[in-house]
Amino acid sequence: MTVSRQEFRDAMARLGSAVNVVTTAGAEGEAAFTASAVCSVTDDPPTLLVCLRRGSSVWPIVTGNGVLCLNVLAHPQQAVAELFASSSGPAMHERFAHHPWSRLVTGAPVLDGAIVSFDCRIADVFEKGTHSVLFGEVQAIRQGNPDDAALLYFGRGYHALASNVSIKQ
């Protein structure tokens, strides 16, 4: 049985995930994109992965700079997610002007108010289908307010997950 692209996309819409804005800065310029295809890889050395479509306008900038910062968004930052999710709209430098940023080790922009930010050097890049899988070795971490609700994406919509939610057994 062959699974169609649409069937796969519809099924993946049922997989809830954190909403992240991935940033980069360096010789190739400054850029960012919204991503949900991210995860932890190992804690020795601390490494995470980010999937990025090779046809994206930010792909050559991110891979050329060799650094990225994974900013996990708080629920009030939905507008940031939407701003960097679109390939149309304001120029990249104008998008950055809408929100406060700082820098850690790599120089990639770190979103102020994010739940947590992982500042990384890209250690490896693997190609699969339409995407690159970027492995980022974490150089620095900045943690935000532990009481902030996380911004999640599920069922093609944004949702809040409070930090005090627990499942009763």
Look at residue 148 and tell me if it is in a domain. Answer: yes
Question: Could you give the CA distance from residue 69 to residue 161 in angstroms, rounded to a whole number?
Answer: 22
Question: Could you give the CA distance from residue 84 to residue 14 in angstroms, rounded to a whole number?
Answer: 22
Q: Which two tokens stand for residue 64?
A: 């050329």
Q: Indicate the pTM of the whole model.
A: 0.92
Look at residue 165 and tell me if it is in a domain. Answer: no
**If you search the block for the tokens 């994206």, which residue do you land on?**
56
Look at residue 161 and tell me if it is in a domain. Answer: no
CATH number of the domain residue 101 falls in: 2.30.110.10
**If you search the block for the tokens 């990025």, which residue do you land on?**
52
Q: Model confidence over 12-37: pLDDT tens digits?
A: 888 778 999 999 999 999 999 999 99
- pLDDT, position 156: 87
Mean confidence (pLDDT) of the chain: 93
How many structural domains compose the chain?
1
Is a pLDDT exceeding 70 seen at residue 11?
yes
Enclosing domain of residue 56:
5-155
Question: Could you give the CA distance from residue 129 to residue 45 in angstroms, rounded to a whole number?
Answer: 27
Using alpha carbons, list the distances in angstroms from residue 60 to 27, 28, 124. Answer: 11, 8, 15
Choose the most confident range, by mean pLDDT, from 5-19, 28-42, 85-99.
Answer: 28-42
